[in-house]
Amino acid sequence: MQASTRNDGLEALGRMAYPGRVVIIGKTPSGNLPFVVYCITGRSPSSQARRIVFEETRAVVRPTDNELLETGDPELLLYPAIMISQGIAVSNGRQTSSIRPAMGPNMGPVEVLALAMEDWDYEPDAPNLTPRISGCVLSPDRAALSIVKHGGGGYSVKNYFEFPLLPGRAKMISTYSGENVNPLPSFQGEPLDLRLGEVTAGKTAAVVYEAMAPANPEDDFRVATVCVFLHELQVDVFEKAVINRHERKDHE
């Protein structure tokens, strides 16, 4: 089977000139392993001055240039993107640290996200008011995504999406709808459907990273992509892969 047929749906990501940050949750073609992909894009120098590193069971966003980073807001730019502990918590901000402790026994993935996001609002980065996107994998069979965004009048609208994990299928959500304009419009509607047929974390990270490559290299906003395959839910056995753009550029 050709890669183009087993990775259907990534063209929607490729059409996004600027998706912001991206969360994908799915299951391998064999149906055995749930996985999570997290992507960062950035337009400003402070957003570009970042990388993702693994620290034990966490994928953490770290700076590549402290001086450039300080031109932005470190509170919004540095955070644990993925935390693994008898499941996977993922988000585009520091709310990941609220999702992980909410992942208790007998909890459903939407219950976890609703509890974790109770005290969180959209990001205070006017005029964009960036949504907070999050995800939770608690079992090999079900997962959930959420988005908390500005609803007008200074309040938040919180939407939650639970779905079955099916072999070779995935769901994707991003912070923005894809237009590279100011202010950036928030993601609308339900998570997008994807088919991802790669069988390793490295290959999955690569096809997603390459899907975001622009036709014009000057419009390349990619920062990093990380993928985690969860092999054993209860004992945190996982496979990981990270692609950092600045490291690729260093080797060109």
pLDDT digits (tens, 9 = 90+) for 148-197: 999 988 899 999 999 999 999 999 999 999 999 999 999 999 999 999 99
Q: Which residues pair with 170 in a beta bridge?
A: 26, 194
Residue 106 pLDDT level (bands cut at 50, 70, 90): confident
Q: Which residues contact residue 206 at a Cβ distance below 8 angstroms, ignoring those fewer than 6 apart?
A: 198, 241, 243
Centroid of chain to Cα 140: 19
Residue 213 located in a structural domain: yes
- pLDDT score, position 64: 96
Rg value, the chain, Cα: 17
Q: What is the mean pLDDT of the chain?
A: 93
Given this model, what pLDDT does residue 249 score? Answer: 58
Q: Residue 32: inside a domain, yes or no?
A: no
* 76 in a structural domain: yes
What is the pTM for the complete model shown? 0.95
Q: What percent of the chain has pLDDT over 90?
A: 87
DSSP helix, strand, coil percent of the chain (3-state; round to 5): 20, 35, 40
In 3D space, the residue among 30, 25, 55 whose CA is nearest the CA of residue 227 turns out to be 25
Signed CA dihedral, 207, 208, 209, 214: sign only: positive
Domain holding 68, by residue range, is 3-25+41-250
90 inside domain? yes
The count of structural domains within the chain is 1
Cβ 116 vs Cβ 102: under 8 Å: yes
User: Which among 50, 32, 13, 31 is positioned nearest to 177, based on CA atoms?
Assistant: 13
Residue 36 lies in a domain: no
CA atoms of 127 and 165, how far apart (whole Å)? 36
The whole-number average pLDDT for the span 209-226 is 96
Does 19 score more than 90 pLDDT? Answer: yes
pLDDT-derived band at 5 (thresholds 50, 70, 90) equals very low
**pLDDT at position 4 over 90:** no
pLDDT at res. 134 = 98
Confirm whether 155 is domain-assigned: yes
236 touches 228 (CB < 8 A): no
Domain assignment present for residue 153? The answer is yes
Task: Summarize pLDDT for 38-63 with one digit per residue, the tens.
Answer: 999 999 999 999 999 999 999 999 99
Beta strands in 88-219 (DSSP E): 88-91, 132-137, 142-150, 156-164, 169-174, 192-195
Whether 210 contacts 26, CB under 8 Å:
no
**Tokens for 17?**
């000139």
The pLDDT confidence band at residue 1, using thresholds 50, 70 and 90, is very low
Per-residue pLDDT of 112-140, as tens digits, reads: 999 999 999 999 999 999 999 999 999 99
Q: Return the pLDDT at 65.
A: 95
Alpha helices by DSSP H, the chain: 3-6, 10-14, 45-48, 66-69, 74-77, 96-102, 109-116, 201-211, 245-250
5 vs 39, higher pLDDT:
39
Q: Which CATH number goes with the domain that contains 140?
A: 3.60.20.20
HSE (side-chain half, CA atoms, 13 Å) at 224:
26
Asked if the structure places residue 35 within a domain, the reply is: no
